Amino acid sequence: MKKLRLGLIGTGFMGKTHALAFRNVKAVIGDVPEVELSCLCELPLTRAQEMADQFGFAQASDDWRAMVNDPDIDIISITAPNGLHHEMALAAIAAGKHVYCEKPLAITLEQATEMAAAAVAAGVKTMVGYNYIKNPAFTHAIELIESGAIGTPVHFRGWVDEDYQADPDLPWTWRAKKSEAGLGTLGDLGCHLVSMAQGLMGPVESLIADTQIIHKTRPLPDGTGSAAVENEDTASAIVRFASGAQGTLCTSRSAWGRKNKLDWEVHGTKGMITFSQERLNELQLYQNDGPQSQQGFKTILTGPAHEPYGAFCPAPGHQLGFNDLKIIEAAAFLRAITGGSACRPDFNDALVFEQVIHAIDRAAETGMRITL
> Is pLDDT of 1 > 80?
no
| Measured distance CA(40)–CA(78) in Å, rounded | 11
What class does CATH assign to 132-371? alpha beta
Read off the pTM.
0.96
- Residue range(s) occupied by CATH 3.40.50.720 in the chain: 4-130
Architecture of the domain made up of 4-130 = 3-Layer(aba) Sandwich (3.40)
**Chain segment 175-226, per-residue pLDDT in tens:** 999 999 999 999 999 999 999 999 999 999 999 999 999 999 999 999 999 9
Q: Give the pLDDT band (50/70/90) at residue 283.
A: very high
- 21-38 confidence digits (pLDDT tens): 999 999 999 999 999 999
